Structure 1
Amino acid sequence: MSNAMTEAGPQDLPEILVSPPWVGKRPKPTVIEVEAVHRPYRLAWLPGEQQRWADIPPARTGTDEQWQREIERQLQIPHRYHMVAALAEAPEHLARPHLAKLHAVQHNWRVPTTGEMTLDGYQVNLDCNKRLLARYGAEVLEFTVVAALAQPWVAAPMWMPIEGSDLTALMVKSLDGAHSLGPLAREWVCRHSYAASLDVIPVAVGKSVTPRRQAEFVLRLLDRRGHREAIRAAAATFPEEVSTTIEQVLDGDPLLWLPTRIPTQPAWLRQDRLPPIRLRDSARVLPQPAVAHVLTMLMMCGPDKDYAGVPLVTETTDPASIAEFAWALFTQWQSARFPAKTNPWPLRASGLLGDDLTASRLRNLAEKEQSSNRASTALDMLELLGTRDAHTQLQILAEKSPRVGGLAARKIETAAARLGITVAEFADGAVPDLGMSARGEWTVDYGTRQFVVSLDEQLKLVVRESDGTRRARLPKPARSDDPVLAANAYAAHGVLQKTVKSAIADQSDRLEAAMVGQRRWSASSLRSLFIAHPFMRQLVTRLVWIAFDTNGIPTTTFRIDDDRAFVDVSDEPVALADDTVVGIAHPVQLGTTLTDWARVFSDYQLLQPFEQLDRPHFAPGAPRLETGLVAYVGEVVSTGRILGLRSFGWVKLHGDGGLDTQLMRTLPGGEKVWLDVDPGIEARNPMAEPKQRITSVSLGQTYLAALDPIVASELLRELEYLR
């Protein structure tokens, strides 16, 4: 090993990496023999929940005579699973006499669907069963539990208002590892914290090792989620020594919270081929025994039970080094074709140890991974990373990914709620500074010399000597430079070039969407979120902004100059109170000042991050706006251009014979527009017909000139793209 890669000694490492608690004998736990009380199933509704379930609108109605015939018909059918729907929606006096016959129903759950619901094709879904349970409670309780067991991946939400010892045991089992019911089980035990504690406490002080570990995990999960008092109340129902032992379980050293069996390295893992892990602020690296301990810790991690020693590893090691180690671990797992798929700890390692580069990699993985489970886990890891850049990647996926965008959006909603902010505010804050200084610069430190990197007027990275002399590019490290600092800095600059280019594109798209969607901020938010942000300032100073009065009427337009001040088209100061409403000006709003603003930006040689001042637009009174959508009917256009409309949010609607002959776009505000083409686009071979004739373009309930001027202009811009 070279001098630059010297191994660290035991004195340089935390104890967890030298002599971890799983090496050698472990302390014996206190064992108390207490008798567990088996609790039957019972309903524990949240306030108003039972009524909400009972009030779920029925899919069909009928007279007493019709319902009676339907129930009798179902009784003659061998599988009878439509009986659930019939009894859930029939009048009570007709349904109640037959509730006892539900035990003979063969369960065949269906995922809720839309469309026509006939008697024979009735979907036995969650809504049916929710209505049934809410209306008849204890009379159908046993049936509901057993029915959900038939297909828990669909029906498990039915268990949420139910508690009981058997259900607790099922939920505890579902919390183990990466079980598909894990998220619901976590929600269930937290909702029923007292009842769950009554069931697991006897196990948590018992002598059976594996069940005890599982019970301890549940109690610690509840404690982390704020349910300590519920645990204490449950423990108080047992002998006093149980309460003392449970407090020790919750307050003990987390480093001693170990699984029953300490995992060993799997056959696919090649530790010798993983990159070295450097210590923080040092050229020394972890010795191989310490690396093996890191891997053991990672193998002991999972949802809600990450091993407590992992933060000690991140505090000790170089962030970029440990992040690269974690990603290399994942790629080995990937190369081995994902053995032990239900325990994706190699991917979780990147969520625990990753950096901003990891966040970008996780985003790509979520977009491209064929396995929906691993794609979802990649999103989970972005949420686990929790950095500003990780939030940025989630935001980009939510806005752009047709495959995982919906799931990313739901994770953003959860994260925003946890942070106490709106989804829009989450998006504004999900912008990394990319390591930029407050002056909008990066420093590249070679040890003996430094360079300053910044963005020029054309949004290109430029390199300067410390005295300001511009260089064509960053030089490679020389012999006189510090070998470690220079090598790391040069490599980091290469990554920065790609990251900045991607970030400019992503944030430019977001700002363009904000302009088109007429997003509004206060002047105070503009200052704090954008102008004070070293990276976003590079973009927002290249745009024209517009202020509004309290009635939403535009008052003035302005830009942000080099001194971060608001100035008008004549470079005169514009005073805006903190609560003034502002937005990115659309060219439709600029009127006669558009030409003046274009000249200002040309004089200052400012490249705009997206088309704003030179954007094709159609202001009220424009001939194309007056002509309307009929002008496009009969046009023959490229099939590729038709398909290109999807980048604006148009979606294909399936037609007959395997041909897509219609596209639809939902406009801001909810109005829909349809575009019909002939001969149509083949699903399997879209370019089989190179040309399409537009046969119709139509709006739903309104006409073009009645739309918001910006919405109408953008619609015409999209349609002009076809030509």
Structure 2
Amino acid sequence: MLEVVSSAQNPEDYRRSVLNVDHGPFVLALISEYIARPILRDFQVPGTVHSPCIFQRILGRFGTDALDAVVATMARHPLRMATVMAPVDGSRVAVLMMRCLGLPRTNRAAVTWWLRHADTAVQDLIPIALGRQGRDRMLAEQALRTVAQTGHRGAVDVAATGYGEQARTAISAMLDADPTLSLPHRIPQLPTWLVPGLLPPIALRDGRAVLPDSAVENFCTMLAMCRPGWQYAGVRIVADIVDPTTLAEFAWGLYEAWMLADCPNSGQWVLHAQGLVGNKDTARQLCEQILKGRWRIGESSRAALDAITAIGGDEAVAQLRAIVSASSANGMVRKARHRIRELTEPDSAL
């Protein structure tokens, strides 16, 4: 790549020399401006973002001329690019950071972004929060609540007023409403393989009672509503009043029931639930399942790695390192290494 930097005399030299599109950002960050600026107009998003700081340099060198390239890369690689967007404002970025706010691995960078740009960016959320039911509407509502609860309620009110009195009233009612009333458009039906009475009991924190079957069934529905990027508020309320050890054991019982049913795709939420309410024992058990080859690289394996990462802590890091050391699947090893970076170097891993 350094040979390209030193020898390129015009954009065509660059295009002939950079055969791997993933190397393009490195070269763009270093070559002379008169060569780089025409290339930015036809920028190809890399398949992998090796170093987010390269895009910070590109932004610093080329300013607004680099925005299309950087935003396009952010849209494809949010986990790696979220922190890069810190100084960048605009409608496209607001929608991307709205979605990042709902992802555990980009939440911190997204909150920082919204606090920095609240006064100008919340106006882009109002029509989404008032639009048709769906994931984006729930994320927009979540983002507006986050902004309002961190000292920027006035900015939200001003932005909503700009869309009319009816919009202002609707947004105000949404912000003041009980968050447990924020529900997905479709409440999932629990599968026939899930029988609440056969799952491990969930004890209250004082240990004097366990949740009745009807409450367990409702809690299962809450977990089934959750998706990566959005968590139903009721899950945290229940988690705060029950014993965390029995809650994790209950979640693993859910996993075992799903496994006995031959892991139907419609039950992927069970793996996500492990990350929401699991503990260090859950991380160890998920690691064992991965090393036994329970899943090939695919949706389930990614969900299992995400659950271990969401549990966090030293035990999660240890289990991910065990996967790196013992797994024979290159894809699994690569993804586990990425999760380790997220836990041990959170700023660089985003």
Q: How does the TM-score come out when normalised to structure 1?
A: 0.37
Question: Does the 8 A contact of 2:203 with 2:209 survive in 1?
Answer: yes
Question: Post-superposition shift, 1:128?
Answer: 4.7
Q: Kindly report which structure 2 residues correspond to 1:631-646, keeping only aligned pairs within 5 A, or say none.
A: none
Cα 1:269–1:234 change in 2 (3 A) is: same
Residue matched to 1:379? 309
Cα 1:281–1:162 change in 2 (3 A) is: closer
1:133 and 2:59 matched: yes
Question: Does the 8 A contact of 2:18 with 2:24 survive in 1?
Answer: no
Q: Kindly report which structure 2 residues correspond to 1:408-427, keeping only aligned pairs within 5 A, or say none.
A: 411=343
Question: Post-superposition shift, 1:294?
Answer: 1.6
Residue matched to 2:188? 263
Supply the distance in 1 between the matched residues of 2:343 and 2:76 (Cα, whole angstroms): 29
Question: Does the 8 A contact of 2:94 with 2:121 survive in 1?
Answer: yes
Cα 1:348–1:88 change in 2 (3 A) is: closer
1:393 and 2:336 matched: no
Supply the distance in 2 between the matched residues of 1:369 and 1:256 (Cα, whole angstroms): 36
Structure 2: where are the runs of 5+ without partners?
292-300, 326-335
1:143 and 2:75 matched: no
Secondary structure at 2:233 match in 1: coil
Letter of the 1:137 partner, please give it: G
Q: Kindly report which structure 2 residues correspond to 1:22-101, keeping only aligned pairs within 5 A, or say none.
A: 66-68=7-9, 71-74=11-14, 81=21, 85-92=26-33, 94-95=34-35, 99-101=37-39
Percent of residue pairs bearing the same amino acid type? 31
**1:463-514 CA deviation, whole Å, 9 max, x = no partner?**
xxxxxxxxxxxxxxxxxxxxxxxxxxxxxxxxxxxxxxxxxxxxxxxxxxxx
Cα 1:105–1:319 change in 2 (3 A) is: closer
Residue matched to 2:88? 162
Question: Post-superposition shift, 1:301?
Answer: 3.4
Letter of the 1:411 partner, please give it: L
1:196 and 2:108 matched: no
1:286 and 2:227 matched: no
Question: Post-superposition shift, 1:170?
Answer: 4.0
Question: Post-superposition shift, 1:132?
Answer: 2.9
2:41 to 89, 93, 103: 103
Question: Does the 8 A contact of 1:363 with 1:379 survive in 2?
Answer: no
Letter of the 1:365 partner, please give it: L
**1:616-656 CA deviation, whole Å, 9 max, x = no partner?**
xxxxxxxxxxxxxxxxxxxxxxxxxxxxxxxxxxxxxxxxx
Supply the distance in 2 between the matched residues of 1:238 and 1:267 (Cα, whole angstroms): 46
Supply the distance in 2 between the matched residues of 1:340 and 1:224 (Cα, whole angstroms): 36
Question: Does the 8 A contact of 1:278 with 1:318 survive in 2?
Answer: yes
Question: Post-superposition shift, 1:329?
Answer: 0.8
Letter of the 1:163 partner, please give it: D
Residue matched to 1:208? 132
Residue matched to 1:459? none
Question: Does the 8 A contact of 2:199 with 2:254 survive in 1?
Answer: yes
**1:398-432 CA deviation, whole Å, 9 max, x = no partner?**
99886569856863676xxxxxxxxxxxxxxxxxx
**1:9-56 CA deviation, whole Å, 9 max, x = no partner?**
xxxxxxxxxxxxxxxxxxxxxxxxxxxxxxxxxxxxxxxxxxxxxxxx
Secondary structure at 1:260 match in 2: coil
Residue matched to 1:346? 270
**1:152-205 CA deviation, whole Å, 9 max, x = no partner?**
6666665444332233334445666x698777656654553334311012332x
Letter of the 2:30 partner, please give it: E
Cα 1:216–1:395 change in 2 (3 A) is: closer
Cα 1:199–1:60 change in 2 (3 A) is: same
Secondary structure at 1:209 match in 2: coil
Question: Post-superposition shift, 1:232?
Answer: 4.1
Letter of the 2:174 partner, please give it: V
Q: How does the TM-score come out when normalised to structure 2?
A: 0.68
Cα 1:255–1:323 change in 2 (3 A) is: same
Structure 1: where are the runs of 5+ without partners?
1-57, 113-124, 384-390, 415-723
Residue matched to 2:280? 359
Supply the distance in 2 between the matched residues of 1:243 and 1:194 (Cα, whole angstroms): 16
Residue matched to 2:145? 220
Question: Does the 8 A contact of 2:82 with 2:100 survive in 1?
Answer: no
Q: CA RMSD in A?
A: 4.5
Question: Does the 8 A contact of 2:317 with 2:343 survive in 1?
Answer: no
Question: Post-superposition shift, 1:221?
Answer: 3.3
**Aligned residue pairs: how many?**
324
Cα 1:413–1:224 change in 2 (3 A) is: farther
Question: Does the 8 A contact of 2:100 with 2:229 survive in 1?
Answer: no
